[in-house]
Structure 1
Amino acid sequence: MPNTIAERLQATLSAIAKAAELAQRPASDIQLLAVSKTKPVSDIMLAYTAGQRHFGENYVQEGVAKTEELAHLSDLVWHFIGPIQSNKSAFVAKNFSWCHSIDRLKIAKRLSAQRPEALPALNVCIQVNINMEETKSGFAPEEVSSAAQIIAELPNLNLRGLMAIPKASQSEPELAATFAALHDMFTDLQTHYPSVDTLSMGMSSDLELAVASGSTMVRVGTGIFGAR
């Protein structure tokens, strides 16, 4: 069992490569997003030293503090993947390169309006409430197409794709069906928007199935940084 962050990172990359090979996909098609929420900057630096560049944060205040502390590392790519309150949207717009959790049009419009002109467009994913859980935010599957039309027109956003957190208590066949539904939505979006290239689905526990189902970005926290 790998003991260090560098070892766990390498084991995760190896798992992605193996899953990609089984799915007859190039491993280079799948981006590993290291979810560093609640973990100290020292842990992020250990992963960075081991070669990881894309990091995901769930909490605005904590994430902003980390982006500021590590601002000298120009090749770090920060992804915001947590819920966004309206009064916190400006912090996301100013400090992150990506936002995966566009769960309503109000937030998309605020992020576009608040994105500094000096920065490139904010890369965004539409969050889909794929299993229609009352406790989860996100667009209903039937709302994704109309939401994409509006978000794609916002001036300071770059629509990159979809993100979802499937229902936890699913059997493997149920989860496979959920991932397949997301992939169908993703490929449909790609036919309309050339910028769409990202399907952010899969975490530590279901990474292999997500890769087999067409994920292009897997979000792994515990598998790299250990238990929270």
Structure 2
Amino acid sequence: MPVHTQAGEPRRPPFDAEAARRLREALGMTPAHVAYGIAAAYGMPLSPATVTAWEAGERAPSEAELTALAGALWCAPGELLGAPGTLHEYRLALGLAAADLARRIGMDPAGYARLEAGGRWRGTERQAAALAEALALPLPALIRFTGRDALLTELLTSAATTRWQAYVRPVGKVVPLPKAQLREVLQDLHADYQATMAATLHWGGGERAEESGRAGRAFLDGILTEFWARAGTAHP
């Protein structure tokens, strides 16, 4: 059953104000030069004060303005962005139009637009692989954007709380990592969860049992992030 991906996209891209200033200065341009270049090449009348406000972090350009700014500074849009966190931002960083990306991965443009707006992933494994390749997605981001975070979290929770050996193969079907690596990570998660529970349990009864329960829940709440960290893949 399909599950929800991220809940919508930010209205403005994650602009790197310092990078914009640095690139402008490297070209020997003033904010007035940049504003003029954007207006002349893209038909977007801007004041130098707007460019200055962008560079000061007081305002952020829209997607169209960011594309125009990148053109004026002779750089890729991705050079003006912070770390992408959404599907929209990964696409924007590469300067790809949504319709072009949809065609590249073999997806209906309207369906892809719904996905970026926080809809459900309804694509195939082939389309997921094409999406990862087109956007150079790290594995955690691909799992999140294709709606498999919840399933992976469920599997990891079961592996930590029961027999981890039984979950190597199911986790491997979701996360294409080497079997030996998955075995090591799942075994470590299981051992650490059990140690967390044991550290707060003794024959003293109720209060310690409640403390153990809280510690166990906290461990499981962060198990997905912990899994990516131990697998050597940063969580977005």
Is TM (by shorter chain) over 0.5? Answer: no
- Structure (1 or 2) with the greater strand fraction: 1
Q: Answer 1 or 2: higher relative contact order, Cα 8 Å, separation at least 6.
A: 1
In terms of fraction of residues, the more helix-rich structure is 2
For the pair shown, which has the larger CA radius of gyration, 1 or 2?
Answer: 2
